[in-house]
Amino acid sequence: MRKYETIFILHPSLDEEAVKSIQDKFKGVIENGGGVIDNVDFWGRRKLAYEISKVSEGYYTLINFTANTELPKELDRVFGITDGVIRHIIVKEEK
């Protein structure tokens, strides 16, 4: 089991209920894949460093989790097919 960190940005046109639903979806992928969520930090709506597809703001969420080496691949796949995700990254935490 390794420690990972993921940050994802959701489209600003989503309402709070949709943002919460998408966050729960990703938490479910982690937990159902055998991972353990260590921390979830919702940063709220913030300005992006640069425009992405003419969008200048987004909802940021940081999740720290512990999982096997296969789970980040599945999580990355789910990020890619989920509507509303502007950007995402999964990083293995160094010791």
Mean pLDDT of the chain: 95
Sheet containing 85-92: give its strands across: 36-52, 55-67, 2-10, 85-92
What residue ranges define each of the domains in the chain, with the CATH number in brackets? 2-92 (3.30.70.60)
Residue 71 pLDDT exceeds 80: yes
- 50-59 residues labelled b (16+ CB within 10 A) or e (exposed): eeeeeeeebb
Residue 95 pLDDT exceeds 80: no
**pLDDT average, residue stretch 3-17:** 96
C-alpha–C-alpha distance, residues 31 and 23, integer Å? 12
pLDDT at 94: 85
The model's confidence at residue 56, banded by pLDDT at 50, 70 and 90, is: very high
C-alpha–C-alpha distance, residues 19 and 59, integer Å? 8
The model's confidence at residue 72, banded by pLDDT at 50, 70 and 90, is: very high
The model's confidence at residue 58, banded by pLDDT at 50, 70 and 90, is: very high
